[in-house]
Amino acid sequence: MADSTQAVDLYRLHQLTLNRGGGSPLLHVDDAFFPEGQFVCLTGPSGAGKSSLLFALAGLNRNLSGSIMFHGSNLAGLSSTELAALRRTSLGIVFQHFQLFDELNAFDNASMQALWGARSNRRKVEERVGELLSKLQINDLSSPCAQLSGGERQRVAVARALASNASVLLADEPTASLDRQTGAELITLLMDNTVGIGRTLIACSHDPAMVERADSVWSLGDGGMQRIR
């Protein structure tokens, strides 16, 4: 595990309040930071605001006050175009419900970044996706994703998030639909492709195996968040 005191802050949250749809506060964070190059795990009971915070880090939850500094820029002050560019270039996201295009095959789903990326970069993304899918043991590349098993779909979603070579991977309950063995393999894969090569992994999870392997762990509950490791 890396030592957080030597790491550079990637995210710094200050006086951050996340609100519910109706406007009432869901989560308040006085001050917190997530260092670069580490595996940060957000844990806590359902409804504590784990996913809300994770997506706020991606610029997808703007129902908030306070600041989320990312590499020194306050996400709350960025336009939606700037946030989209940030997600495109720096963030990879694994959704809890995968959010795959069921009618597309595994390869097209995983190489989605190539659809809008520069032509010169498409070949690289596609080569990387080929390697990732092979590493993730997705052999059926031609069938629509609707025909894949839950585990396979999960791995395609991971491949898509890793394909962009983003410096940060945000994962929402990535092992939720996997058995213990497959879950452990997935954690290894995620870590190998992020913290293993100097990138950051931020995941929210109930899974003790994930919490166990994280560099820093933040617990959410009772409207607040505290670091437990």
List contacts with other proteins (CB under 8 A). Answer: 21, 51-52, 55, 58, 60-63, 80-81, 84-89, 91, 93, 95-97, 99, 101-104, 108, 112-116, 119, 122, 144, 160, 172
Pick the closer one to other proteins by CB: 53 or 215: 53
Pick the closer one to other proteins by CB: 22 or 181: 22
At 9, which helix (H) or strand (E)?
strand 9-19
The C-alpha atoms of residue 144 and residue 213 are separated, in whole angstroms, by: 34
For residue 112, which of 69, 57, 166 has the smallest C-alpha distance?
166
CB of 213 to other proteins, least distance (A): 24
Pick the closer one to other proteins by CB: 150 or 212: 150
CB of 166 to other proteins, least distance (A): 9
Pick the closer one to other proteins by CB: 123 or 227: 123
Pairing type for strands 200-204 and 216-221 reads: unpaired
Instruction: State the amino acid at position 156 in one-letter form.
Output: V
Pairing type for strands 216-221 and 91-94 reads: unpaired
CB of 2 to other proteins, least distance (A): 27
**Helix, strand counts (H, E) of the chain:** 8, 10
